[in-house]
Amino acid sequence: MSVGVALLGAGVFAKKEHLPAIKACPSLSLRAVYSRSQASAERLATEVGEDADAYFDSPSIPSKALDDLLSRADIAAVIIAVAIPVSPDLIKKALAAGKHVLSEKPIAPDVKIARELIDYHLQQEDGVLWAVGENFRFWDSVHRAAHILKEMRGNLVTFSVTAFSYTDAENPFYHSDWRQKPQFQGGYLLDGGVHFAAVLRTLLAAVGQKISCVSAHTTSLQAHLPPVDTVHAVLGTDQGRSGTYVSSVGIKAKRAMEFEVVTDKGSVIYRPFQMEIAIKQDDGGSEWVERSERAPLMWGVKEEVAAFADGVLTGTLDTRLSTSDALEDLKIVEAMIRSGKDQGVPVDIAGDGY
């Protein structure tokens, strides 16, 4: 059985990742594409290389608007990959039309809007699915690192996240107007930060803990990366442990991504782009044994799209696509941005008020 799907968005990620992922999924049939302008929509339709119709906002042409696309009976689902501020409105329109939705991370520009969208989804007819794509959650190596930690059966001591990736005009994503002039909190710290929060939450869950409070300082080092491009944070867990989170797209001298979780029985250092999981483990004596495993690099978009297609066919979503997990990722990043604005004042993300 083939599910008719439409791709909403014609940006870099939609063309580079979502389009190939849809084509690679045998249970999906791409019927239409949508973009704000006729030129970008028709360009994307041409790249599809099959019989996909183009829809757009400008110029206004009868039968070519988004509402016309959403009214088509042969389209059961949509994949939304648009600018962060634009996404919520498209999600609501698609859900209201009874279409299953896979929307790109973050779930929303902020926690308030995310909760409003979740409430809106719950008001729709039963069986209409809303999935949030977080491709890092589909990295097998993340779950392998988490499995190793779980098998250690240790108590958490501390943890750290390091994520440096200098961004300038050489980065293809930089040229999106909505990234150069962000109308949402945190800029790149939000856009990429939910990825890092997703990995950290997966690793901490393996040792039975989750983030409950945040204290952070944010900085703007590069004028072309507004509003802030660097964060230094201390994260506290629900069981009284703490760790650090350092991320920047504005430091030229550094480029690295590393997650470390230390327990009283051993530690795991996960370096995805070096394709390595480094392990130190108590040998039961007086020393810790060191070893490492390969961590094959994968981008995860094909896997998340395939999982979404399976969910549409079976009526049950893969938990890695859940709106609740996407909300928790966003809460951590938003708390860092809020704390940074208040010069490090702690933000409690476990309380009823958040």
Range with the poorest average pLDDT among 64-68, 110-114, 171-175, 267-271? 171-175
Both 105 and 184 in a single domain? Answer: no
Say whether 33 sits in a helix, a strand or coil: strand
**Is 63 in the same domain as 129?**
yes
Structure-token pair, residue 128: 């209409």
Beta strands in 181-275 (DSSP E): 211-219, 230-237, 242-248, 255-263, 266-271
**What pLDDT does 170 receive?**
85
Token representation of residue 59? 């110029």
DSSP-based three-state secondary structure for 167: coil
Rounded Cα distance between 336 and 320, Å, is 23
Kindly state whether residue 109 falls inside one of the protein's structural domains.
yes
More confident residue, 77 or 62: 77
Q: Can you give the pLDDT at residue 217?
A: 98
Whether residue 354 lies inside any domain: the answer is no
Dihedral of CA 238/240/241/247: which sign? positive
Residue 353 pLDDT > 70: no
Within a domain: 236: yes
Q: Which amino acid is at 145?
A: A
Residue with the bigger pLDDT between 284 and 330: it is 330
With 0.85 as the threshold, say if the pTM is over it: yes
Number of domains in the chain: 2
Same domain for 74 and 188: no
pLDDT of residue 257: 95
Query: Which helix (H) or strand (E) is 78 found in, with range?
Result: strand 77-80
Does position 299 have pLDDT exceeding 70, yes or no? yes
Both 44 and 80 in a single domain?
yes
273 inside domain: yes
> Are the C-beta atoms of residues 347 and 214 closer than 8 Å to each other?
yes
pLDDT in tens, 222-252: 999 999 999 999 999 999 999 999 999 999 8
How does pLDDT run across 154-212, given as a tens digit for each residue? 999 999 999 999 998 888 877 788 788 888 999 999 999 999 999 999 999 999 999 99
In this structure, are 194 and 249 located in the same domain? yes
The verdict on 112 and 245 lying in the same domain is no
Burial class (CB in 10 A: 0-12, 13-18, 19+), 192: buried
- Is residue 352's pLDDT more than 70? no
Distance from C-alpha of 225 to C-alpha of 242, rounded to nearest angstrom: 29
Helix (H, G, I), strand (E, B) or coil at 6: strand
In angstroms, the CA 225 to CA 195 distance is 19
Helix (H, G, I), strand (E, B) or coil at 256: strand
Q: Same domain, yes or no, for 94 and 150?
A: no
The CATH number of the domain where 85 resides is what?
Answer: 3.40.50.720
Within this chain, do residues 209 and 61 fall inside the same structural domain, yes or no?
no
Contacts by 120-129 with C-beta closer than 8 Å and gap 24+?
A: 120/92, 120/95, 121/95, 121/323, 124/95, 124/96, 124/98, 125/98, 127/315, 128/95, 128/98, 128/99, 128/100, 129/100, 129/101, 129/311, 129/312, 129/315, 129/317
Residue 323 located in a structural domain: no
For residues 280 and 168, membership in a common domain is answered with yes
Q: Per the omega criterion (within 30 degrees of 0), is the bond before 296 cis?
A: no
H or E element in which residue 58 lies: strand 53-58
Q: Are residues 154 and 190 in the same domain?
A: yes
Residue 312 lies in a domain: yes
- CATH code for the domain in which residue 184 is found: 3.30.360.10
Per-residue pLDDT reduced to its tens digit, 115-133: 999 999 999 888 999 999 9
What range defines the domain where residue 69 resides? Answer: 3-133+301-318
Q: Is residue 353 part of a domain?
A: no
In a domain, 325, yes or no: no
Q: By the 8 A CB rule, do 248 and 115 touch? A: no
- Answer yes or no: do 344 and 233 share one domain: yes
Same domain assignment for residues 289 and 233: yes
Neighbours of 209 (CB within 10 A): 21
